[in-house]
Amino acid sequence: MAALSWFSIAAVALVLIGLTAVVVGIWRWRVAALVRRTRLLEERVTQRTAALQLATEELHFLAFHDDLTALMNQRGFWQHADKLEMESRTGQTMFGLVLVDLDHFKRVNDRYGHRTGDEVLRHAAGLMQRQCCEADFVCRYGGEEFAILVVDTSPDNLRKLAETLRSEMESHPYKGDSGEIAFTASVGVSYWLGGKDNVEAMFGRADKAMYEAKESRNSWMMWNPAMDFESAPENA
């Protein structure tokens, strides 16, 4: 009878041990599954966060860059112009502004079509970028007009850049399916005058100089005070 009791106790103990092992095994399996699920969720969160960051960066790029040429757009121009103005007010740098307008560009669109016209614009944008320093800001301001913020420069260097840009446009026609398309540009230049000067005033001065250049086309002009007393032509 005693032996049977001990046998019963041993059997019960074995059953309890077995159940405990099963419970522990299930618990370990559930913990492992939970760990795997947590890792999977973390990976998904990381991937979605990276995708969201990339999308945010793309939206920011599109907000401040021209989708045709990948240059900065008008909004990007003024963002950097305001920063340069603030730096120049503290005497840290002197900068210049160059406006470039492609001559008679409507004729290119009318003769070859707007798609080819877009290719000419991309080609012109590339020419300008190659002639500017890495620190400069080349922008497509609108249509066939470009604006370049030239950092840490001087009037003499701005004159050299203006002539280089004019010459590059003239000597490097676009070559594509429609053949060779020659084009030229009119360039207007202004520079920071110090004191209470501001970028809007600089833009106005460069614009006057560009209109002077467009009188003869394929030329450049640097602003001088006499231009303020002359009336700009009504038609570009």
Which CATH number do you get for residue 221?
Answer: 3.30.70.270
* Residues with Cβ within 8 Å of residue 65, at least 6 apart in sequence: 71, 72, 73, 76
Query: Does the annotation count 144 as an active-site position?
Result: yes
Which is higher by pLDDT, 72 or 5? Answer: 72
The answer to the question of residue 17 being in a domain is yes
What is the structure's pLDDT at 55? 53
10: containing domain:
1-64
Q: Is 232 a residue whose pLDDT tops 50?
A: no
- One domain, residues 18 and 84: no
Question: Residue 41 falls within a domain, yes or no?
Answer: yes
Looking at the fold, whether 130 and 21 belong to one and the same domain comes out as no
HEC profile of 148-210: EEECCCCHHHHHHHHHHHHHHHHHCCEEECCEEECCCEEEEEEECCCCCCCHHHHHHHHHHHH
114 and 195 inside one domain:
yes
- Residue 56 has a pLDDT of 63
User: Looking at 119, 144, 145, 212, which residue is catalytic?
Assistant: 144
The pairing of strands 145-150 and 137-142 is antiparallel
pLDDT confidence tier of residue 235, bands split at 50, 70 and 90 = very low
Q: What is the pLDDT of residue 31?
A: 77
Q: What percent of the chain has pLDDT over 70?
A: 86
Question: Element (H or E) spanning 45, and its range?
Answer: helix 2-64
Same domain flag for 4 and 58: yes
Mean pLDDT value across residues 204-224 = 95
Same domain, yes or no, for 84 and 25? no
In a domain, 33, yes or no: yes
Under a CB-based contact definition with an 8 Å cutoff, are residues 140 and 72 in contact?
yes
Q: Please give the sequence-ordered ranges of beta strands (E in DSSP) within 14-125, or none if there are none.
A: 96-102
User: How does pLDDT run across 78-115, given as a tens digit for each residue?
Assistant: 999 999 998 888 876 789 999 999 999 999 999 999 99
d(CA 150, CA 94) in angstroms, rounded, equals: 9
Residue 193 lies in a domain: yes
* 193 and 100 housed in the same domain: yes
Q: What's the domain count of the chain?
A: 2
Amino acid at 138: V
Kindly report the number of other CB atoms within 10 A of residue 67's CB atom. Answer: 9
Beta bridge partners of 224: none
Query: How high is the pLDDT of residue 214?
Result: 95
More confident residue, 136 or 38: 136
Q: Which of 64, 94, 110 is the last residue of a domain?
A: 64
Average pLDDT over residues 107-128: 96
pLDDT category at 201 given cuts 50, 70, 90 is: very high
